[in-house]
Structure 1
Amino acid sequence: MVQVKDIVNQLHLDVYSGEDFLNHTVTSSEISRPGLELTGYFNYYPYDRIQVLGMKEITFIEKMTSAEKSMIFKKLCNEDTPCFVIARGLSIPEELVNAANKKEIPIIQSTISTSRLSGMISNFLESQLAERVSIHGVLVEVYGLGVLIQGSSGIGKSETGLELIKKGHRLIADDRVDIYRQDERTVIGESPKILEHLMEIRGVGIIDVMNLFGASAVRNHAHISLVVNLQDWSVDNTFDRLGSGTESIDLAHVPVPKITIPVSNGRNVATIIEVAAMNFRAKTMGYDATKKFENNLAQLIAENSESDKEFDK
């Protein structure tokens, strides 16, 4: 649930009127720009959405008589309307203020352009209203990439995360990660409030990462780009040695690339994850070391084949 005061505080907007009514709740991330409604067409008026008025709406309103304004604003102001937002620092009609006050609807003002302001509000609401799912793992930001470390209990996820933090990377969440889908291709991970900036290290207990390593060692959320699954090394298990296998895992209905790293004595898992993150970034930029190896191998086979033909002659 999101209240109007949350939007005001997070986006640093100004309250023009109705400061006592900021506890109104917003249930939809969609924004309404009441253009047709200003002409008197209210058949499909989404009264339960945030109403944003920009240059076009205010310019149209200015051509109305005071009586027309009062009539339109009376219809626009529904008891379930969360708030009105006026963009570009435009002047606010007195008739709107009167109608909004009667229905206890706050009016918010901003100097930001209408399109940008609508996008900011919509993105914030989508992130807050999205359905969240909790999963086990450690989420760290490595070279700007959100890397989710998973594996069986006791395999060393938190210890690996701690080593990455000591190397200069940043913690988002330890043990429990709340995830939500931002769009069809993006899943965001964050820490539950109760665990924010905290890690559990066996034998030590709970540590406060921000207190020990500074504010630069933590982040509130990150786009999960890669999942690293830690698995005990065994001769019976088969691991991808060339990196040619493409594996993914479903997180909040978004497919996320996944790699499995074997864990054994003597392996520096944190360094391997660093290299995995750099290699993943290189692949997204069009460079694939596996393909280069396969091309080199194919070229070598072709050259040997030509040599054999020359020898047969």
Structure 2
Amino acid sequence: MLTIETIVEKFELKVLAGSDGLQKEIRNSDISRPGLEIAGYFTYYQAHRVQILGMTELTFFNQMLTHDEREKRAEKLCDPQTPCIIISRRLEPPQEIVDACNKSNVPLLLTHTKTTNFFSRLSYYLERELSPETNRHGVLIDIYGIGVLITGESGVGKSETALELVKSGHRLVADDNVEIKQVAEGVLMGSSPPLIRNMLEIRGLGVVNVMTLFGAGSILDEKRVMLNVHLEPWNPSKQYDRLGLDRTKLKILDTEIDKKTIPIQPGRSMSAIVEVAAMNYRMQRLGYNAAVELNERIQEQIKENNGG
């Protein structure tokens, strides 16, 4: 739950009025600058959003409205749904707004930051904090800039594969439990729960601290999840993709990412295979697909043979 008190601490805001409402919950990541409302047009007032008042709004409020109008507009601004009102640039708040905030328990906050700058910072923060999220059992690792989510049944070798990848210079994001947020359309960001951050569990060895063993360059706090590599024991009766033309997807929240299923057999270097999978995915994003090239060569050879 994201409360007004949280953003007060996060952005070092000063509470001017309505302190009894600091435990109000923020549910909407959108922010409003209620210029039309201050001018008197409240038909589409988005009361459930955080409201920011800058120099333009306050100058109009102070200079263009009578005392009675200011009182009425301030009361309407302080709707019961309004999470809070934030004044930027350390501007002096009108007394009518102070009184209305105290009366309705709508927190009135003050920041020294310029309006546009603060608007952007707060919007970005709310987007991240209020994004839909889920948890996945697996390992998230950064391989050549590609966030690879390694999944599979318990004991299949996910953490051991991750350890080999870290030793090869790649960076661990999360082991065992991956917290995933959809921060924008088609964009998933993965991170580790604080309790187990930088930790890697190796069966038979126990828990190791990756940053302590391999240095700060071996870990990453957050990474975009782009590719899923699913490890499973070899199944002789199952047909595995041998060319790479078939593209399967894994859906997480409302976003689909590419999925590669890798069968495990004795003697196979899983870390090398996962590393190549990430490199190949990166090449495909750049426009090159080896499977497509091979298929084109085969089709060309068939045409030549038929023509002969």
TM-score normalized by structure 2? 0.86
In structure 2, distance between residues paired with 1:108 and 1:292: 60
Does 2:236 match 1:235?
yes
In structure 1, distance between residues paired with 2:168 and 2:108: 48
- Is the 8 Å Cα contact of residues 77 and 105 (structure 1) preserved in structure 2? no
Which residue is 2:42 aligned to? 42
Does 2:185 match 1:171?
no
In structure 2, distance between residues paired with 1:109 and 1:186: 31
1:105 to 107, 111, 124: 107
Structure 1 residues 55 and 194, CA gap change in structure 2 (3 angstroms): same
SS at match of 2:293: helix
SS at match of 1:153: coil
**1:219: how far off?**
2.5
1:240 partner amino acid = D
Which residue is 2:77 aligned to? 76
SS at match of 2:281: helix
Does 2:19 match 1:17?
no
Q: Identity of counterpart residues, as a percentage? A: 39
Q: Deviations over 1:47-89 (max 9, x none)?
A: 33210224542443343246243442233234553322334x3
In structure 2, distance between residues paired with 1:170 and 1:112: 37
- Is the 8 Å Cα contact of residues 79 and 105 (structure 1) preserved in structure 2? no
2:2 partner amino acid = V
SS at match of 2:156: coil
SS at match of 1:174: strand
Which residue is 2:4 aligned to? 4
Structure 1 residues 167 and 18, CA gap change in structure 2 (3 angstroms): farther
**1:199: how far off?**
1.8
1:146 partner amino acid = G
Q: Which moved more, 1:180-189 or 1:15-24?
A: 15-24
Q: Deviations over 1:23-59 (max 9, x none)?
A: 4431222222212210223344333321022454244
- Is the 8 Å Cα contact of residues 18 and 101 (structure 2) preserved in structure 1? no
Does 2:29 match 1:29?
yes
Write the mapping of 1:196-215 to structure 2, written as runs, cut at 5 A: 196-215=197-216
Structure 1 residues 112 and 155, CA gap change in structure 2 (3 angstroms): farther
In structure 1, distance between residues paired with 2:233 and 2:269: 14
- Is the 8 Å Cα contact of residues 83 and 106 (structure 2) preserved in structure 1? no
Which residue is 2:187 aligned to? 186
Q: Deviations over 1:174-200 (max 9, x none)?
A: 112222322331222222232222221
In structure 2, distance between residues paired with 1:185 and 1:146: 14
SS at match of 1:63: helix
In structure 1, distance between residues paired with 2:159 and 2:170: 14
SS at match of 2:246: coil
In structure 2, distance between residues paired with 1:129 and 1:199: 28
Does 2:61 match 1:61?
yes
Which residue is 2:251 aligned to? 250
**1:295: how far off?**
2.0
SS at match of 1:155: coil
Which residue is 1:86 aligned to? 87
SS at match of 2:189: strand
Structure 1 residues 80 and 214, CA gap change in structure 2 (3 angstroms): farther
TM-score normalized by structure 1? 0.85
2:33 partner amino acid = R
SS at match of 1:137: strand
- Is the 8 Å Cα contact of residues 13 and 110 (structure 1) preserved in structure 2? no
- Is the 8 Å Cα contact of residues 34 and 53 (structure 1) preserved in structure 2? yes
